[in-house]
Amino acid sequence: MEVLILLIFVSLVMVTLAVGFFAWGLRERVYDHSDRLTLLPLEDDSPARVLGSKRTPSKSDM
């Protein structure tokens, strides 16, 4: 069971490192590029058109 003390110590060091690294990342704004990326899926990809014609479905269709 002595190994538990070692494991808990190592885990705490790892957690402290991770939290510290995260805080540093926020301060240094290293993830700012992601602000644009989060919006990528939301970009409007319309207009869709009926296959084989130039007709675009009207808003009331959708």
Chain centroid offset of residue 17 CA = 21
**What does the alpha-carbon distance between residue 22 and residue 30 come to, in Å, rounded to a whole number?**
10
**What does the alpha-carbon distance between residue 13 and residue 7 come to, in Å, rounded to a whole number?**
10
Residues 2-41 that bind another protein (CB under 8 A): 6, 10, 13-14, 17, 20-21, 24-25, 28, 30-31, 33-41
- Amino acid type, 37: L
Tell me the closest approach of the beta carbon of residue 12 to another protein, in angstroms: 11
For another protein, the binding residues (CB under 8 A) are 6, 10, 13-14, 17, 20-21, 24-25, 28, 30-31, 33-43, 45-51, 57, 61-62
